[in-house]
Amino acid sequence: MRIAINGMGRIGRLLFRRLLHKENIELVAVNDIMPVDNLVYLLKYDSLFGPLQEPIVLEGDKILAGRHKVKCFQESSPASINWRELEVDIVLECSGRFGSLEGATGHLRSGARKVLLSTTGSPEIPLLIYGFNQHQLTPDIDIVSPGGCMTNCTTHMLYLLQSIGIESAHFNILHSYTSRQELVDTAHKQFRRGRAAAESIIPVEIDLVQSLERLFPLKDKLAAVSIRVPVTNGALVDATVQLAQEVSVEQINNLFRTSANNGYKGIMDYTEDPLVSADIKGNTHSLIIDGSLTSVVGRQVKVIAWFDNEYGYTSRMLDWMEYWRGM
């Protein structure tokens, strides 16, 4: 399988690193408008995950890393790249700029066989969450949205709690700050996103509810807010769910523990260790249920789940590539 990455931000660069270790997958090209020597530097040294273990050098218009020779482009539009000539099977669309059907289709017109977004795309693009509804993928689907990191976490929580019955659910996502925020106070159309990310706890607007309502018949029963906190990695979902019947802490924990050890193995984990966000850096699961923090008041349940918003999410994108390859 021949892979190209469009957009070499946090997710694109982490995918580059991880694809170096994947057998039967060849990384053939990347595209980003940043200077290529700067890209090589950012691939070699990462503040979160440390230096790249493989040697990496720039040779002409190619990055040599491990066994891969990766052609570099600096095009602002996918239409300017001949993916067909490179025989690209899947473009990983990680720029955040081409999440609409028209934008993602540009990769197909340039010759790519398939496109995998790194976010929730427009409503016309199938929203398929790995471990939940990936079986809905059919050979004629050429563009897939695997959802975002928060959607991948909360989808599985909702699905399992639906077996009891959900009357309402509110998600509070405590999330590390991201590149869409600012390091010092400045102007931003969302005023709070313009405040210094490392200095404050900052509520931000998110589209999680719209994504979840595409997956579940829970219209007007969901709410969500994201609170950005001054750490560079990791997230915690604090879910408060009103259920249709009274339950115990033991019932809820057993539901998630059993699922993590069986059908959700590799997607969800369960722990009762006293974790903090630093402990989940590099964790490959979409969510880690923290059973030590589960609480119940009548029919109201609070469930806490951790996730690495970068490593866990790219793990699902890798799963998607393997799934597509196996079709």
The token duo for 237 is 């979902």
Look up tokens 């990055």; give the residue: 63
The answer to whether 94 is a known catalytic residue is no
CA-CA distance, 194 to 186, in Å (whole number)? 5
Catalytic residue among 72, 94, 149, 153: 149
Buried b (16+ CB within 10 A) or exposed e, 20-35: beeeebbbbbbbbeee
The token duo for 184 is 């010092």
Residues serving a catalytic function are 149
